[in-house]
Amino acid sequence: MLFQTSQGRGNKSVHVAPHRLYLLWKLVAYVQQLAMLFTPITELNPQKINVVIRVRVIRKWEFRGATNDGPLRHINLILADEQGTAIHAEIPAALAIEKGSLIQIDIVYEIRHFRVMPSRGYFKPVHNNLMIQFTLYTQAKVVNDPPHIFPIYIYNLTSFEKVEENVDNRNYLIDVIGMLTQIGAPHVAGYNNSSIVRDIFIKDISDASLKITLWGDQASGFSIDNVCNESNNKPIVIMFVGCLAKQFKGQSYLSSTTATTWYFNPNIPEAQEYYINHKGLNAPPLYHDSYKITNGGFQLAPNAENLRLKPPVDTAAHHVAVQT
């Protein structure tokens, strides 16, 4: 096939082999087909039916009530499409075994036959006014060899100085990032000392400090063993997502929820400043606290153990399979 092109003042005929033209046509058709097959999250609305989304599962957790010890109420998912837009999804308890067990973190799926509805007005894990609810007819098909353009992290960072103004803000959960400086020992607290608690301390780029209190399995399971070794002593940057801002005795802090997840040394732009500023420097002393009971409360024991930090890996995530 001949195509007429212009070069300067003259014309030139270019021959394109039929098989190459056919391949080009197939590629264009494929791209157009994908655009028609998958609806971006930004274009979802409750009135649109029979849409298909192609999304990566960023996070997954269970909700068992405010105290996290009741029967399963629903499974929660954070989904993100190729444009980086996120949406919260719920799988009702009645479908947990059939649907929930098939959905895994970090896997890309084509999802269809779901319900789009307004998001709940409290404890939103992402900034989206809509959410997805799985139904009996919802289908999720694994995408093999998906393009490498889906986000790994979904977050909306809050600076340390704005944590206080978010105390008791029930609209959105809070995400923060900082350098790990202290790991408290797990201890019991709450009504009748029925809950396991651990305090984690981080500091921002200005050296302001912030406490994050972990509860239950999160408290007992927090560990840096997988991101460090004895041969090096580099700082660890950590991002917490899905927290609530609270205050105790005039001090603001973050408290974990069942939606909380943390990422060690995340590969995100906001972490680069920490890596650059602390390149070649040793980590600050990291204390693993020992607690003792004094006058009915927990106090830091004088023999707190000084732990050495070890080298961070590029990315490592802790996923808590348990939201507010």
Instruction: Report the SS3 class of residue 297.
Output: strand
Residues 213-230 have a mean pLDDT of 85
> 43 pLDDT exceeds 80?
yes
In a domain, 285, yes or no: yes
Which of the four pLDDT bands, split at 50, 70 and 90, describes residue 117? very high
Residues 212-217 have a mean pLDDT of 94
Q: What is the CATH number of the domain that holds 52?
A: 2.40.50.140
Same domain, 210 and 129: no
Residues 100-111 have a mean pLDDT of 94
Same domain, 88 and 189: no
pLDDT of residue 12: 54
Of 142, 172, 189, the residue that ends a domain is 142
In a domain, 73, yes or no: yes
pLDDT of residue 72: 84
Same domain, 56 and 166: no
pLDDT of residue 15: 58
- Amino acid symbol at 171: N
Q: How many residues does the chain have?
A: 324
Same domain, 247 and 107: no
Three-state SS across 97-138? CCCHHHCCCCCEEEEECCEEEECCCCCECCCCCEEEECCCCC
Distance CA 318, CA 200 (A): 15
> 17 pLDDT exceeds 50?
yes
Same domain, 165 and 295: yes
Of 98, 116, 142, the residue that ends a domain is 142
pTM of the model: 0.77
Report residue 203 as tokens. Answer: 């500091």
In percent, the amount of the chain with pLDDT more than 70 equals 71
> 312 pLDDT exceeds 50?
no
In a domain, 147, yes or no: no
Same domain, 173 and 134: no
Distance CA 292, CA 194 (A): 16
Distance CA 161, CA 245 (A): 12
**DSSP H helical ranges for 49-93:** none
Residues 126-154 have a mean pLDDT of 95
Question: Over the stretch 238-285, which tens digit does the pLDDT of each residue have?
Answer: 999 999 999 999 999 999 999 999 999 999 999 999 988 876 555 555
Report residue 225 as tokens. Answer: 């063993």
Instruction: Report the SS3 class of residue 31.
Output: helix
Same domain, 164 and 307: yes
Question: Over the stretch 226-243, which tens digit does the pLDDT of each residue have?
Answer: 887 555 567 899 999 999
> 125 pLDDT exceeds 70?
yes
Distance CA 270, CA 239 (A): 10
Question: Over the stretch 74-99, which tens digit does the pLDDT of each residue have?
Answer: 999 999 999 999 999 999 999 988 88
> 62 pLDDT exceeds 70?
yes
Return the closest-CA partner of residue 171 out of 133, 119, 132, 214.
119
> 324 pLDDT exceeds 60?
no
Same domain, 164 and 313: yes
**What is the Cα 116 distance to its own chain's centre?**
21
In a domain, 28, yes or no: no
> pLDDT higher for 30 or 252?
252
> 294 pLDDT exceeds 80?
no
Same domain, 55 and 134: yes
Q: Provide the domain limits for residue 44.
A: 35-142
Instruction: Report the SS3 class of residue 283.
Output: coil
Report residue 109 as tokens. Answer: 């799926």
Please check whether residue 185 is in contact with residue 223, taking contact to mean a CB–CB distance below 8 angstroms. Answer: no
Return the closest-CA partner of residue 169 out of 123, 207, 137, 128.
123
> 159 pLDDT exceeds 90?
yes
In a domain, 2, yes or no: no
In a domain, 1, yes or no: no
Which of the four pLDDT bands, split at 50, 70 and 90, describes residue 303? very low
Least confidently predicted of 13-27, 267-281, 307-321: 307-321
Q: Are strands 130-133 and 86-92 parallel, antiparallel or unpaired?
A: parallel
> pLDDT higher for 4 or 62?
62
Which of the four pLDDT bands, split at 50, 70 and 90, describes residue 286? low
Please check whether residue 313 is in contact with residue 265, taking contact to mean a CB–CB distance below 8 angstroms. Answer: yes
pLDDT of residue 282: 56
pLDDT of residue 300: 44
pLDDT of residue 257: 94
Split into its structural domains, the chain has a count of 2
Same domain, 107 and 169: no
In a domain, 124, yes or no: yes
If you average pLDDT over every residue of the chain, what do you get? 80
Same domain, 137 and 166: no
130 burial via Cβ count (<10 Å: 0-12, 13-18, 19+): middle
Same domain, 175 and 250: yes
At 160, give phi and psi (nearest 5°): -60, -40
pLDDT of residue 135: 95
Residues 218-226 have a mean pLDDT of 89
In a domain, 136, yes or no: yes
Instruction: Report the SS3 class of residue 259.
Output: strand
